[in-house]
Structure 1
């Protein structure tokens, strides 16, 4: 089996209900982090790992995600007529070559495992492929998250999952790893538990939204879908399929250099905006001044509120 990564699956069929009303019409993956939609950030990350084929698993109403990467002749004609070369270059950089974007339909929200299964027709039997959740925004100062993972995959040939330590209070929100031998940032995986209670969690090492998986997972998902083998939340869980894959194919949990921001939540989305903006020289200085001033105002208001409460109590 080749150890290069050529295909990535993007499960983007979800409704984004945690970000309503912003996502009533707009797919959450089209929401921008400053000037870059989440889906574009994920696609650009995949490109750094050598990915050439992009599979979007969508539901009805999410067609805008595909349109974003398609040609825009009217826009390009207007920009050309106005001699807007910088904007032309931006549009060209976004547009994917013909045939590189594949569409798979997920008609019912039956879980992440089901979403990956929906992409089965685009995965060759002899290749490993990436799975990337765009609302898990990975901000890395050096190599991208998927690039780091692809290098570990090229070195070992194992299935690779991005991982991070989470607080005790959060272990029931993630797939949790039973860790084996550790080698720096790479930990061999002995098992997975999907969203365990704290007392049943084998560690605090959580699976986050980046995977490199052997195509051998597809027959496992076939069986799970056929038999309706649901797990946590009554859904077909990718973690459950990985438990079965682990029996025949090793996994490495890789702790990536970088920050994860959960852009499916309002606070995570706001934090991602600030963190990403601070990497932009044109924005960082003014944004820093703004935040310092806002903090001063907030602290002043809080002090005044405390003083007023003390006065009333006296």
Structure 2
């Protein structure tokens, strides 16, 4: 009987160096897109996709993430006492039910592969999802839900990919594809290929559905790019024994770990919000009119 994707691993132990000094004392995952932390959107995508249990892989200086997903009794009491019931209810809805979220400490910063491996005992012997918290992926249907639908049909592993300008392919992890009997299959992955040598224009974009055998490879994985244990290297090791299917995501993806992506995400989300959209358009109008200070 095919197993269901019940658990998602979200690695949140990174330092967020691209967003310094903002991330000196605030976890990058809690920087806000309009009025919600980036991580809130990732967690919402997981639950909307049918995930039952989220495993956060944290590190030092990340206790605020655990607090964010806890029930704040004092704040709740104060809001209700002051007649702000709707705000209190909104906050309450964001608190996971008991047992629906776990936290594991990655004690050394050894890379994404090591972070995922740190969650192995909670994941257990079942397929699972990995969601990178920097990558905010927006579409009418959650990216992870689409991937789980592919998994439910075919099993194996599924990796989200997106198109990139071939001239920029050397900046990304690029996949190579071949046509299988039930659609395209990933046959290889190259991390930051030399200009002009990329096997396709599809890059790995931050969502994975993986079989538990990946933990076996991560257990003995030697450091790769940047001297870190890379998840990509372990997935490449799976290629000889398991099918890996691509899901080409065609929505909008924002890399919120970079200033440009973070601002882009804020602008995109703000334009979708009544009461905020108008202020954004007014600021743009003033900027274009020359009122830049």
Q: TM-score range by the shorter chain?
A: over 0.9
Q: Could you say if the C-alpha distance between residues 67 and 183 of structure 1 is closer, same or farther in structure 2, counting changes exceeding 3 Å?
A: farther
Name the CA distance, whole Å, in 1 between partners of 2:86 and 2:149: 33
Preserved CA contact (<8 Å) 1:195 1:232: no
TM-score after normalising by structure 1: 0.88
Could you say which residue in structure 2 is the equivalent of 1:138?
Answer: 137
Between 1:147-156 and 1:130-139, the stretch displaced more is: 147-156
Q: Among residues 147, 150, 162, which one is paired with 2:148 in the alignment?
A: 150
Preserved CA contact (<8 Å) 1:42 1:132: yes
Could you say which residue in structure 2 is the equivalent of 1:76?
Answer: 76
Q: Deviations over 1:148-203 (max 9, x none)?
A: 2111221221311111111234323322101112899x731111112221233211
Larger helix percent: 1
Gap runs ≥5 in structure 2: none
**1:253 aligned onto 2:246:** yes
Could you say which residue in structure 1 is the equivalent of 2:158?
Answer: 160
Root-mean-square deviation (CA), in Å? 2.0
Could you say which residue in structure 2 is the equivalent of 1:177?
Answer: 175
Could you say which residue in structure 2 is the equivalent of 1:96?
Answer: 96
Preserved CA contact (<8 Å) 1:29 1:135: yes
Using the TM superposition, give the Cα deviation of residue 33 of structure 1 relative to its aligned residue in structure 2, in angstroms: 0.3
Using the TM superposition, give the Cα deviation of residue 30 of structure 1 relative to its aligned residue in structure 2, in angstroms: 0.2
Using the TM superposition, give the Cα deviation of residue 290 of structure 1 relative to its aligned residue in structure 2, in angstroms: 2.5
Task: Report the 3-state secondary structure (helix = DSSP H, G, I; strand = E; otherwise coil) of the residue aligned with 1:198.
Answer: coil
Gap runs ≥5 in structure 1: 302-314
Could you say which residue in structure 1 is the equivalent of 2:45?
Answer: 45
Task: Report the 3-state secondary structure (helix = DSSP H, G, I; strand = E; otherwise coil) of the residue aligned with 1:104.
Answer: strand
Between 1:47-56 and 1:102-111, the stretch displaced more is: 102-111
Name the CA distance, whole Å, in 1 between partners of 2:198 and 2:230: 17
**1:277 aligned onto 2:270:** yes
Q: Could you say if the C-alpha distance between residues 67 and 2 of structure 1 is closer, same or farther in structure 2, counting changes exceeding 3 Å?
A: farther
Preserved CA contact (<8 Å) 2:162 2:250: no
Between Structure 1 and Structure 2, how many residues are aligned?
Answer: 293
Q: Could you say if the C-alpha distance between residues 71 and 241 of structure 1 is closer, same or farther in structure 2, counting changes exceeding 3 Å?
A: same
Q: Could you say if the C-alpha distance between residues 220 and 137 of structure 1 is closer, same or farther in structure 2, counting changes exceeding 3 Å?
A: same
Between 1:211-220 and 1:143-152, the stretch displaced more is: 143-152
**1:237 aligned onto 2:230:** yes
What are the residue-to-residue correspondences of 1:1-314 with 2, within 5 Å?
1-125=1-125, 127-140=126-139, 142-181=140-179, 187-224=184-221, 229-297=222-290
Task: Report the 3-state secondary structure (helix = DSSP H, G, I; strand = E; otherwise coil) of the residue aligned with 1:281.
Answer: coil
Q: Deviations over 1:253-293 (max 9, x none)?
A: 11123101111111111111101111113322332233233
TM-score after normalising by structure 2: 0.94
Preserved CA contact (<8 Å) 1:139 1:276: no
Between 1:146-155 and 1:210-219, the stretch displaced more is: 146-155
Structure showing greater Rg:
1
Name the CA distance, whole Å, in 2 between partners of 1:74 and 1:291: 39
Preserved CA contact (<8 Å) 2:9 2:128: yes
Task: Report the 3-state secondary structure (helix = DSSP H, G, I; strand = E; otherwise coil) of the residue aligned with 1:91.
Answer: helix
